[in-house]
Every structure is written in C-alpha cells, then in structure tokens.
C-alpha cells in the first residue's frame, strides 16, 4: 500500500508538466472483454496512471465483441480493448463500417486452442510422445484429421468456436487447421457464416461462455484468449492442445481502438491515454515479470476478469498448463511491452488483412499498395511515438525501449508453424504461398471457388 501511495505522490507531482497542454475531454468510458489481456487498462486505472494524466476513466465490461464494437462506433464508449482485426474490418467495411484507428498495441500472444476431453482422447494416439509420456509440442492439426473423419462417419459436423469473425483467434485457428490439412471454410459476400467448403465448422461464442459451451457439447474445441483455456483445463472439461505462441511466436493480439473522429477532435487526450497505457504495459513486464502476481490479484476482482486468481496466474506467470498436471514453461505467453509489443506495426495489420483475403472476407484480390494504405490509415504509430517521446522527456521511460527509426514493418519471419515465411512488404506473394485458402484472383461465387 505504501508503494502505491508513493507512486501516486510521484505521479501527482509529475502531472504538472502535462497540464500545460489542456485535455479536450477528461471523463472517458472504455470498454473491455473479460480476458487476461485487458490488463493494461486495469493496471493503468488501479495504479493511477490514468489519474496522473488527468483522465477520469470508467472501465465497463462488455457482453461480447459485437456490443463492444457497436459501443465504440456509436460513441457510448470512447475507446476499447479490441481485437486487432476489428479496426481493420470496420475501416474496410466488413461488418459495420466505421473508421477506427489504433495508436497502441496492447499485447502479444495470449491465446490457446482447447479441445474437449473426448476429442483429446481420440487425438492422442496420433501424437508422438516424449520419453516421459507427455505429448510432443507443438501439436499439429494433422492429429485432428482422423478425428474429424471419425466424426464425419458418425454423421456429426465437427464444430469449433472462436470469438468473432475478424478475431485473431479466428485467423489463428484457421491457420493451425490449414497447416494440418483441414479446410476451415470460406466466406463470400453472400454467405458470411464462413463455412463454405469446410471440413471444420467455425462459429462465434463470446469468450467467457466458451468453457460452458464446450461442456454442453455444442462445440468440440475453441480458440480463445486466457483465462478461458486454463479455466477449461482446471475444471477438467478440456485439454489445451496449442498456444498461439507456438503457431506464430510473438504475434500481435489486441489493440486499443478509438474512432478516427475522436482522435482528430481530441489529440491531447489521445496522447494522454497512450502515455498511461504505455506506463501500464511497462509495469506489467518490469523486472522480468516481477509484478505479474500483483496484476493477477487485480484481474481476479469481479469487475475486471473475475476468474479465480489461480486460473489467471496459470498463464500470466510464465507457465501454461496444457493438460491437468502437464505444466510447461512458456515465459512469453503474455507479452505486454517486451519485443516492442506496444508499437502498432503496419506489418501486423497487413498479416490480418492477408488472412482476411485468404478466407474470403476480402472478396476480391487487392494490390500490395492497397494493403499498405489500409494499414497506414488504421495504425497510428505517429501518435504512439509522440506519447513515447513525451514519456522519455518526463523521465518515465527509457529511450532505448522504443523503436524510433522503424518504417513500420517488422523483419520478415519464418517461425510460423507451417514454415511459410511472412514479409509484410509483399502481402500478395504471401497470400499466394498457401496450399489452402484463396490465392491470386480466386473468388467465391455461389459457394464455389472460381478463378
């Protein structure tokens, strides 16, 4: 507690320099979904970082991603914890159209794919084992192929859940399934259920309801953020087969989204919000994740994530429990600041856009310039760097922690689970390199792929 008061005193004293630039609005409402990675928002509120900037923030849990997006678009919420795909999809007009921008990436990694106990038992014989009997990780979706066929023979469609049509979870689940040879279904302008030509049928369930939907047997597996994978494992209703760290190490996950209008009308407020969030992210990764347990305590309060502290701690503190008893070291399961996690890289946006094209949410082929333009209109590293610079000048952050000179594209990577290399500068080449998915000029018309 004393540390907390000291932090407030220091913060209050340092709030002086900022009052020179007046905030346009200081009472804000932010939305979030009950997931571990809303932590920067909770920490920025509880540790007084918002208050230091002169912002009075109400954090409201939203029922699902649809309600959250609508809330930001119609102005009920000033900003929200969003899926990285939501600002992009809204700006290109997939779903409700609105120009949403993001100046801050909230975290990397943090998702997992869990299957029901029955499906795991059927998958297990097809997965190679280590000497001690535990399955070899990462588990490829190839082990799921015979199970899907068994289900098809029994006349049951293999249903899996994800949280939103433009969620990272949807794309990661599809990536994993396609890497193992299973077709997750196409979207078309007439049919947005995303199940055209599918071997595995994906549908939407809000994250906190995933474990109960799995238990009820409506879905046989899901891809969701924490703590909902660990919740299923600890309650004995499912087994986590893979984390998204193993699908794509250090992949972008959530962003903080605001409407373009808000950012234009309130530049000082936006910068203040980003400052507070950067400070929160730094605290979460400080000293090699030393503060994580304190963060877990805060997140377990009913007004934030509300799950039991043990369940949240299972993934926030450097380990991940795949099966009851099979706990492995995954130190970077949640990354909030390290590896430039908070910088909104254009290449991250382009990856999501390529996946949208791959599965037909972007119905027509687009030029490389189009991808780069959309990324530049949605991701705002300029605001991020302004906020970071002002933090460095106030002595609250280190110069070395921020990528001042980047052109917005991360280095090309080839660490994804199927080994296909990704370079954000050449999106069409990347799209064309997939065995499963729309390539080149292919279109989905009347349920058939043409071109």
Interface with other proteins (CB under 8 A), residue total: 35
Q: How far apart are CA 410 and CA 439, in angstroms?
A: 23
* DSSP-derived 3-state class of residue 380: coil
Rule CB under 8 A: say whether 58 interacts with other proteins. Answer: yes
Instruction: Report the candidate in 336, 442, 417 with the shortest Cα–Cα distance to residue 173.
Output: 417
Rule CB under 8 A: say whether 26 interacts with other proteins. Answer: yes
Rule CB under 8 A: say whether 209 interacts with other proteins. Answer: yes
Rule CB under 8 A: say whether 14 interacts with other proteins. Answer: no
Rule CB under 8 A: say whether 7 interacts with other proteins. Answer: no
Q: Name every residue whose Cβ is closer than 8 Å to that of residue 324 and which is 6 or more positions away in sequence.
A: 233, 234, 236
Least CB distance from residue 439 to other proteins, whole Å? 39
Q: Which of 125, 128, 133, 302 contacts other proteins by CB under 8 A?
A: 302
DSSP 116: E
Rule CB under 8 A: say whether 208 interacts with other proteins. Answer: yes
Binding segment (CB under 8 A) for other proteins, from list 204-212, 364-372, 397-405, 431-439: 204-212
Least CB distance from residue 286 to other proteins, whole Å? 23
Binding segment (CB under 8 A) for other proteins, from list 71-79, 166-174, 274-282, 415-423: 71-79
Q: Which of 10, 17, 25, 27 contacts other proteins by CB under 8 A?
A: 27
Least CB distance from residue 186 to other proteins, whole Å? 29
Least CB distance from residue 392 to other proteins, whole Å? 25
Instruction: Report the candidate in 326, 329, 416, 335 with the shortest Cα–Cα distance to residue 140.
Output: 416
CA distances from 267 to 57, 336, 349 (A): 17, 24, 22
CA distances from 159 to 146, 244, 431 (A): 15, 20, 26
Rule CB under 8 A: say whether 308 interacts with other proteins. Answer: yes
Q: How far apart are CA 198 and CA 151, in angstroms?
A: 14
Rule CB under 8 A: say whether 96 interacts with other proteins. Answer: no
Q: Name every residue whose Cβ is closer than 8 Å to that of residue 311 and which is 6 or more positions away in sequence.
A: 227, 230, 231, 234
Q: How far apart are CA 275 and CA 344, in angstroms?
A: 14
Interface mask toward other proteins for 140-159; x: CB under 8 A: --------------------
Rule CB under 8 A: say whether 201 interacts with other proteins. Answer: no
Q: What angle do CA 10, 15, 19 make, to 5 degrees?
A: 165
Instruction: Report the candidate in 327, 299, 302, 332 with the shortest Cα–Cα distance to residue 314.
Output: 327
Q: How far apart are CA 247 and CA 108, in angstroms?
A: 12
Q: Name every residue whose Cβ is closer than 8 Å to that of residue 125 and which is 6 or more positions away in sequence.
A: none
- The answer to whether 135 touches 128, Cβ cutoff 8 Å, is yes
Rule CB under 8 A: say whether 307 interacts with other proteins. Answer: yes
Q: How far apart are CA 281 and CA 301, in angstroms?
A: 19
Q: How far apart are CA 154 and CA 295, in angstroms?
A: 46
Nearer to other proteins, 71 or 252 (CB): 71
Rule CB under 8 A: say whether 205 interacts with other proteins. Answer: no
Binding segment (CB under 8 A) for other proteins, from list 68-76, 268-276, 357-365, 434-442: 68-76
Q: Which of 305, 335, 349, 375 contacts other proteins by CB under 8 A?
A: 305
Nearer to other proteins, 27 or 149 (CB): 27
Rule CB under 8 A: say whether 57 interacts with other proteins. Answer: yes
DSSP 191: -
Q: Omega of the bond prior to 144 within 30 degrees of 0, cis?
A: no
Least CB distance from residue 48 to other proteins, whole Å? 8
Rule CB under 8 A: say whether 297 interacts with other proteins. Answer: no
Nearer to other proteins, 77 or 378 (CB): 77
Binding segment (CB under 8 A) for other proteins, from list 183-191, 197-205, 234-242, 423-431: 234-242
Rule CB under 8 A: say whether 236 interacts with other proteins. Answer: yes
Q: How far apart are CA 343 and CA 345, in angstroms?
A: 6
Neighbour count for residue 176 (Cβ, 10 Å): 27
Rule CB under 8 A: say whether 61 interacts with other proteins. Answer: yes
Rule CB under 8 A: say whether 2 interacts with other proteins. Answer: no
Least CB distance from residue 230 to other proteins, whole Å? 11
Rule CB under 8 A: say whether 291 interacts with other proteins. Answer: no
Rule CB under 8 A: say whether 36 interacts with other proteins. Answer: no
Rule CB under 8 A: say whether 421 interacts with other proteins. Answer: no
Instruction: Report the candidate in 386, 353, 391 with the shortest Cα–Cα distance to residue 88.
Output: 353
Nearer to other proteins, 236 or 331 (CB): 236
Q: Which of 215, 294, 326, 401 contacts other proteins by CB under 8 A?
A: 215
Q: Omega of the bond prior to 291 within 30 degrees of 0, cis?
A: no
Nearer to other proteins, 114 or 140 (CB): 114
Where along the sequence are the contacts to other proteins (CB under 8 A)? 8, 12, 26-27, 34, 51, 56-59, 61-63, 67, 74-76, 206, 208-209, 211-212, 215, 231, 235-237, 300, 302-303, 305-308, 311
């Amino acid at each position: 507690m004393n540390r907390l008061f000291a932090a407030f005193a220091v913060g209050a004293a340092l709030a002086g320099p900022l009052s020179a630039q007046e905030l346009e609005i200081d009472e804000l409402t932010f939305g979030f979904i009950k997931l571990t990675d809303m932590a920067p928002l909770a920490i920025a509120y509880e540790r007084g970082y918002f208050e230091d900037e002169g912002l009075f923030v109400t954090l409201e849990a939203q029922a699902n991603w649809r309600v959250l997006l609508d809330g930001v678009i119609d102005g009920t919420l000033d900003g929200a914890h969003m899926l990285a795909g939501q600002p992009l999809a809204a700006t290109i007009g997939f779903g409700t159209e609105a120009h949403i921008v993001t100046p801050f990436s909230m975290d990397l990694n943090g998702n997992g794919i869990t299957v029901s106990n029955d499906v795991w038992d059927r998958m297990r014989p097809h997965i190679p084992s280590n000497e001690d009997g535990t399955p070899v990780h990462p588990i490829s979706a190839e082990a799921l192929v015979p199970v899907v066929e068994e289900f098809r023979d029994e006349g049951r469609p293999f249903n899996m859940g994800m949280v939103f049509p433009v969620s990272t979870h949807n794309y990661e689940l599809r990536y994993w399934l396609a890497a193992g040879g299973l077709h997750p279904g196409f979207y078309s302008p007439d049919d947005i259920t995303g199940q055209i030509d599918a071997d595995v049928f994906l549908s939407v369930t809000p994250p906190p309801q995933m474990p109960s939907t799995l238990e009820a047997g409506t879905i046989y597996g899901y891809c969701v953020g924490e703590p909902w994978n660990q919740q299923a494992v600890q309650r004995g209703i499912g087994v986590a087969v893979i984390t998204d760290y193993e699908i794509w190490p250090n992949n972008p996950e959530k962003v903080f989204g605001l409407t373009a209008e808000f950012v234009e009308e309130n530049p000082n407020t936006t910068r203040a919000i980003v400052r507070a969030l950067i400070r929160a992210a730094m605290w979460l990764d400080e000293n090699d994740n030393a503060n994580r347990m304190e963060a877990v305590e805060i997140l377990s309060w009913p007004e934030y994530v509300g799950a039991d502290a043990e369940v949240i701690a299972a993934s926030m503190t450097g380990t991940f429990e795949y099966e009851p008893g099979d706990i492995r070291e995954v130190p970077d399961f949640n990354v909030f600041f390290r590896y430039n996690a908070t910088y909104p890289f254009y290449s991250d946006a382009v990856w999501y856009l390529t996946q949208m094209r791959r599965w037909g949410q972007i119905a027509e082929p687009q030029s490389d310039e189009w991808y780069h333009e959309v990324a530049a209109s949605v991701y705002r590293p300029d605001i991020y760097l302004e906020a970071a610079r002002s933090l460095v000048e106030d002595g609250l952050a280190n110069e070395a922690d921020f990528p001042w000179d980047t052109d917005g594209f991360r280095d090309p990577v080839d660490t994804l689970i199927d080994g296909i290399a990704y370079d954000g500068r050449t999106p069409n080449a990347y799209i064309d390199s997939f065995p499963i998915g729309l390539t080149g000029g292919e279109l989905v018309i009347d349920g058939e792929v043409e071109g």
